[in-house]
Amino acid sequence: MAFIRKFQTGSGATGVQVCEKRNGKVVKTVHVGSAKSEEGVKKLLKKAQGIIDAEKMPLFNLKNFDKKQKD
């Protein structure tokens, strides 16, 4: 399960990470970036969500669906 983590850096900026958890333990962490403004943090959160979405498998592969096929 992947989730987004926000944290305060030593310089006072807000850091954004994408973390993956398995069996209750964090096994992978990807640092997305850090920003001092709210606008910058919003951009980082969008980028982090994009990273999570890219890893998801679609429920249905609609590219292979052919409407002309008949059962």
Q: Between the CA of residue 65 and those of 43, 53, 58, 60, what are the distances in Å?
A: 35, 22, 13, 9
Number of C-alpha atoms within 13 angstroms, CB side, residue 29? 9
The answer to whether position 64 is within a domain reads: no
Give CA 71 to chain center in angstroms.
Answer: 39
* Residue 5 confidence (pLDDT): 96
Whole-prediction pTM value? Answer: 0.75
Nearest to 18 by CA among 33, 29, 7, 34: 29
* Domain count along the chain: 1
Domain of 47: which CATH number? 3.30.160
The answer to whether position 13 is within a domain reads: yes
The answer to whether position 69 is within a domain reads: no
The answer to whether position 30 is within a domain reads: yes
The answer to whether position 61 is within a domain reads: no
* Residue 68 confidence (pLDDT): 55
Rounded CA separation 36/53 (Å): 25
The answer to whether position 16 is within a domain reads: yes
* Residue 60 confidence (pLDDT): 72
